[in-house]
């Protein structure tokens, strides 16, 4: 017979599990939680609403890891899900796991053992996204991680890195549950653009949606660059050159526009392309920009003699004296003002035209991104 767990039953259970749930009258006056801490407001809110509490010594232990079982229980209680009574011989967390599974928060493919191990940020993202949107209950990890950052549930760690394998702490759990409840309530949260970009690149090979709010054709994308050269677009990275905290911004250090103008007010777009020739042409060496162009873009380089080496500074030519394959980057800039104008008119611009030809290929439907 199902029933909602009472506050007293929860408190008794949590004496055993080292998580305690408080009545609404409780306050978050923990000796190790200060009003200036980034998680303070979330802890206050969850304690005030009877969702969690601290320890008997008056601490919250914000940096202590949360186990898989503890996080599942926190989320089930926060969402006020129906929980069955614990059967004789069952672990304390079994009813909560069952409730989470029934609600679609937990999938047996996530893990079936190790419930007392610290839960990772990726595992937390799975549960949190499913709590907000059941449509993602069967999605893969890359999609779930992206959705968690895109929706503002999870922020990046140092430098916006995803830290998927890192353990979630009690402070992080409190903030994530608070954010889940806000989203369930219909609110919109701000996202960590760096974390969302990294997650989107892992998922799609590009951060276009995060940076520009648009979408392009799926990567990798194969195109004929000429009658004898085939190109495969592997990644497309968009960098805000004005924002020192923009995702991948340090990769663009030393970038110079070939027309000599300043890049202030520009986005840098970095294309990673695999080029291979289908014919042998002696004494022929080709760079990507020898084959295609685009009037909206300004070619940009990180000069080799600058001494600056970054992941996107590698520009390689294709030697065609034998069948060959190389990987190269092609950098361009696009004015933010121009992009705004393009988007306002839903204009075609996401394409490349073959040099010396009227032929072109698009990298999105009709060369548009909306």
Q: Report the CATH number at residue 211.
A: 2.60.40
**Domain final position from 171, 198, 225:** 198
Distance CA 225, CA 236 (A): 17
Same domain, 98 and 70: yes
Could you tell me which residue, 366 or 158, shows the higher pLDDT? 366
**Domain final position from 149, 171, 198:** 198
The number of angstroms, rounded, from the C-alpha of 228 to the middle of its chain's C-alpha atoms is 37
Same domain, 139 and 46: yes
Same domain, 161 and 214: no
Give the pLDDT band of residue 111 (cuts 50, 70, 90): confident
Distance CA 328, CA 225 (A): 14
CA R_g for the chain: 26
**Which helix (H) or strand (E) segment is 128 a member of?**
helix 121-132
Contact 238, 200 (CB under 8 A): no
pLDDT of 307: 86
Could you tell me which residue, 249 or 111, shows the higher pLDDT? 249
131, two tokens: 């709590």
Number of structural domains (the chain) is 2
Q: Which residues contact 167 (CB under 8 A, 6 or more apart)?
A: 65, 66, 118, 119, 120, 121
- The residue whose two tokens read 């991680």 is 145
Same domain, 157 and 211: no
Res 337 pLDDT > 90: yes
Same domain, 106 and 218: no
DSSP 318-347: EE-SS--EEEEEEEEEEEHHHHHHHHHTT-
Same domain, 172 and 223: no
Average pLDDT of the chain to the nearest whole number? 91
Same domain, 210 and 193: no
Q: Look at residue 107 and give its three-state secondary structure.
A: coil
Distance CA 138, CA 216 (A): 24
Same domain, 222 and 247: yes
pLDDT of 28: 59
Range(s) of the domain holding residue 287: 205-367
Q: Provide the pairing of β-strand 318-319 with 285-286.
A: antiparallel
Backbone φ and ψ of 346, nearest 5°: 50, 50
Q: Inter-axis angle of helices 40-48 and 170-184, to 10 degrees? A: 70
Same domain, 233 and 261: yes
For residues 260-285, give the mean pLDDT. Answer: 97
Same domain, 216 and 67: no
Report pTM.
Answer: 0.88
Same domain, 76 and 8: yes
Distance CA 336, CA 316 (A): 28
Contact 127, 106 (CB under 8 A): yes
**Domain final position from 143, 176, 198:** 198
Res 52 pLDDT > 90: no
Q: Look at residue 230 and give its three-state secondary structure.
A: strand
For residues 247-253, give the mean pLDDT. Answer: 95
pLDDT tens digits for 147-201?
A: 999 999 999 988 788 999 999 999 999 999 999 999 999 999 999 999 999 999 9
Distance CA 141, CA 321 (A): 43
pLDDT tens digits for 207-222?
A: 999 999 999 999 999 9
Same domain, 282 and 193: no
């Amino acid at each position: 017979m199902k029933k909602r767990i009472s506050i007293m039953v929860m408190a008794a259970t949590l004496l055993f599990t080292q998580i305690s749930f408080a009545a609404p009258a409780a306050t978050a006056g923990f000796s190790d939680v200060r009003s200036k801490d980034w998680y303070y407001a979330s802890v206050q809110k969850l304690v005030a609403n009877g969702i969690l509490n601290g320890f008997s010594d008056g601490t919250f232990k914000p940096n202590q890891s949360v186990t898989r079982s503890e996080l599942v229980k926190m989320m089930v209680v926060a969402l006020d899900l129906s929980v069955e009574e614990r059967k004789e011989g069952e672990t304390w967390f079994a009813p909560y796991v069952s409730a989470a599974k029934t609600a679609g928060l937990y999938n047996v493919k996530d893990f079936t053992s190790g419930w007392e191990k610290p839960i990772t940020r990726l595992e937390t993202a799975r549960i949190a996204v499913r709590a907000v949107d059941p449509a993602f209950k069967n999605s893969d990890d890359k999609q779930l991680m992206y959705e968690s950052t895109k929706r503002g549930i999870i922020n990046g760690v140092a430098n916006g890195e995803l830290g998927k394998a890192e353990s979630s702490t009690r402070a992080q759990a409190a903030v994530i549950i608070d954010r889940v409840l806000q989203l369930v309530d219909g609110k919109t949260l701000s996202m960590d653009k760096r974390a969302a970009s990294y997650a989107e690149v892992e998922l799609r090979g590009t951060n276009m949606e995060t940076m520009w709010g648009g979408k392009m054709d799926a990567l990798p994308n194969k195109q004929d660059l000429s009658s004898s050269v085939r190109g495969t677009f592997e990644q497309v990275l968009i960098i805000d050159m004005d924002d020192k905290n923009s995702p991948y911004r340090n990769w663009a250090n030393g970038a110079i526009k070939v027309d000599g103008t300043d890049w202030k007010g520009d986005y840098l777009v970095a294309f990673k392309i695999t080029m291979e020739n289908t014919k042998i042409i002696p004494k022929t060496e080709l760079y990507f920009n020898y084959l295609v162009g685009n009037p909206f873009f300004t070619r940009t380089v990180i000069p080799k003699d600058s001494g600056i080496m970054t992941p996107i500074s590698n520009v390689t030519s294709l030697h065609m004296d034998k069948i060959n394959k190389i990987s190269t980057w092609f950098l361009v800039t696009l004015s933010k003002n121009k992009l705004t104008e393009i988007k306002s008119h839903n204009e075609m611009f996401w394409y490349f035209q073959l040099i010396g030809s009227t032929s072109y290929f698009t990298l999105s439907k009709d060369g548009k991104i909306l």
